[in-house]
């Protein structure tokens, strides 16, 4: 009888619709071998002669699960790229995106958009609803490139954020990559922001790293009361991992709490415990373990378990953080379903979780929490 119920739990986790609350679109063109290999890691360099990035947790999980989705059986990692080459890219994307079982995709449009299909086309290929998340640093850089004067910049950014707020479901900041989190998070005055903009040379306007301008953008977005996503922890070589410990965000989170503005900590590896603690201690802080789900493959269950130590279950979200390869959109979903099921099955067997509670939490993390947080509607946005 218990086994029958465990089967129901596994079937539920395998089929329930997901909201992928942090993701990017898929590629316009089929990737080269080198692009494919780099896309399954956070690196920008090849491993070297005779070495393949398919020989990793991400590569093994991808070949097993995407191979099964495409052919009905797992594919050896060394054969996967040959298999993939036999598919037209749009058709491969359709099979993998639809196979992910995602009802809503919350797409960050701020990175590499010229190489990715547009949101309407992504919706068509995936069969899901599409919602946009606007990236603050990209918005500020567009404004700075337009030649806005230092004096006019604060008002211009406020107006820009306000008008985008009507069309997006949230904002995202990559402060982690640019200023790091170990900065003064107080709201700067307009005079301070103007002085910081005046001090930027053309490189500083093109790639914003100034902490005063970045925290001004973050505070401006918080005041829309839309969820503010913050990249936390693991990323490519641009990121100073030491400076992305979310414990540096205490001041910002306290100010967001005073405004009643929600903050979402993305990825969080290797700081899942710190992020879970912040979710537990603040009124409106959320987290996910996206990205490590894909990168860690069979080991990713440990990241989810670390998050679930302290994070209240209504604050945990699902994301794939896929960019480009449709394999990653599929893999994030397929791995999350397996990882979640493996964890809660253990806790049910230990007698501390009931099956109905396990199903209830699965639904919360899969879609319920994100639907509530981002106020998603059936019509999409």
Nearest distance, CB of residue 24 and Zn ion, angstroms: 6
Nearest distance, CB of residue 321 and Zn ion, angstroms: 4
Q: Return the number of the residue (37 or 321) whose C-beta is nearest Zn ion.
A: 321
**Interaction of residue 137 with Zn ion, rule CB under 5 A:** no
d(CA 135, CA 161): 10
d(CA 291, CA 76): 23
End-to-end CA distance of the chain: 44
Q: Return the number of the residue (240 or 257) whose C-beta is nearest Zn ion.
A: 240
Which among 8-16, 161-169, 243-251, 320-328 is the span making contact with Zn ion, rule CB under 5 A? Answer: 320-328
Main-chain phi, psi angles of 21, to 5 degrees: -85, -5
CA-closest candidate to residue 231, choices 291, 188, 157: 291
d(CA 140, CA 174): 12
Nearest distance, CB of residue 10 and Zn ion, angstroms: 29
Nearest distance, CB of residue 265 and Zn ion, angstroms: 13
Q: How many other C-beta atoms can be found within 10 angstroms of the C-beta atom of residue 52?
A: 16
Q: Which distant-in-sequence residues (6+ apart) come within 8 Å of 100 by Cβ?
A: 18, 20, 126, 320, 329, 330, 332, 333, 334
Q: Return the number of the residue (272 or 321) whose C-beta is nearest Zn ion.
A: 321
d(CA 140, CA 155): 12
Which among 30-38, 198-206, 319-327, 344-352 is the span making contact with Zn ion, rule CB under 5 A? Answer: 319-327
Q: Return the number of the residue (228 or 361) whose C-beta is nearest Zn ion.
A: 228
Q: Return the number of the residue (231 or 337) whose C-beta is nearest Zn ion.
A: 231
Which among 123-131, 132-140, 269-277, 317-325 is the span making contact with Zn ion, rule CB under 5 A? Answer: 317-325
d(CA 33, CA 80): 11
Nearest distance, CB of residue 239 and Zn ion, angstroms: 12
Question: Nearest-CB residue to Zn ion?
Answer: 321
String marking each residue 269-308 x if it binds Zn ion according to CB under 5 A: ----------------------------------------
Could you give the 3-state DSSP secondary structure of residue 168?
coil
Main-chain phi, psi angles of 111, to 5 degrees: -135, 115
Q: Return the number of the residue (13 or 109) whose C-beta is nearest Zn ion.
A: 109
Angle (CA) 335 325 172, round 5°: 80
Q: Hunting for tokens 């780099």 — which residue is that?
A: 38
Binds Zn ion by CB under 5 A, chosen from 67, 321, 324, 331: 321
Nearest distance, CB of residue 291 and Zn ion, angstroms: 7
d(CA 55, CA 59): 6
Nearest distance, CB of residue 262 and Zn ion, angstroms: 18
Q: Return the number of the residue (67 or 290) whose C-beta is nearest Zn ion.
A: 290
Nearest distance, CB of residue 41 and Zn ion, angstroms: 14
Using CB under 5 A as the criterion, which residues of the chain lie in contact with Zn ion when the complex forms?
Answer: 321
């Amino acid at each position: 009888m218990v086994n029958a119920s465990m089967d129901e739990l596994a079937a539920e986790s395998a089929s329930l619709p997901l909201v992928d609350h942090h993701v990017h679109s898929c590629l316009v063109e089929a990737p080269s071998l080198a692009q494919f290999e780099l896309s399954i890691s956070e690196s920008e360099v090849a491993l070297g002669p005779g070495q393949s990035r398919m020989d990793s947790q991400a590569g093994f999980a991808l070949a097993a699960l995407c191979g099964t989705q495409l052919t009905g059986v797992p594919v050896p990692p060394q054969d996967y790229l040959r298999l993939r080459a036999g598919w037209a890219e749009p058709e491969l994307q359709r099979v993998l995106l639809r196979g992910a079982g995602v009802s809503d995709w919350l797409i960050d449009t701020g990175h590499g958009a010229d190489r990715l299909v547009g949101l309407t086309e992504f919706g068509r290929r995936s069969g899901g609803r599409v919602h946009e998340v606007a990236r603050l640093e990209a918005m500020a850089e567009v404004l700075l490139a337009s030649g806005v004067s230092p004096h006019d910049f604060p008002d211009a950014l406020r107006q820009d954020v306000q008008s985008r707020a009507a069309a997006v479901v949230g904002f995202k900041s990559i402060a982690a990559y640019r200023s790091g989190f170990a900065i003064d998070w107080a709201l700067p005055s307009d005079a301070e922001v103007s002085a910081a903009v005046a001090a930027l040379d053309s490189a500083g306007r093109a790639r914003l790293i100034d902490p005063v301008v970045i925290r001004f953008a973050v505070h401006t977005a918080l005041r829309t009361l839309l969820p503010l996503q913050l990249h936390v922890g693991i990323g490519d070589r641009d990121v100073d991992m030491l400076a992305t410990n979310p414990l540096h965000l205490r001041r910002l989170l306290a100010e967001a709490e005073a405004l009643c503005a929600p903050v979402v900590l993305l990825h969080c590896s290797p700081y899942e415990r710190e992020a879970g603690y912040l979710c537990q201690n603040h009124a409106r802080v959320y987290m996910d373990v996206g990205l490590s789900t894909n990168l860690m493959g069979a080991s990713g269950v440990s990241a989810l378990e670390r998050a679930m130590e302290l994070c209240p279950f209504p604050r945990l979200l699902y994301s794939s953080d896929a960019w480009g390869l449709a394999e990653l959109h599929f893999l994030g979903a397929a791995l999350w379903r397996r990882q979640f099921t493996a964890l809660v099955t253990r806790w049910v067997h230990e007698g501390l979780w009931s099956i109905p509670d396990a199903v209830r939490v699965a639904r919360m993390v899969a879609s319920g929490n994100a639907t509530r947080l981002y106020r998603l509607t059936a019509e999409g946005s």
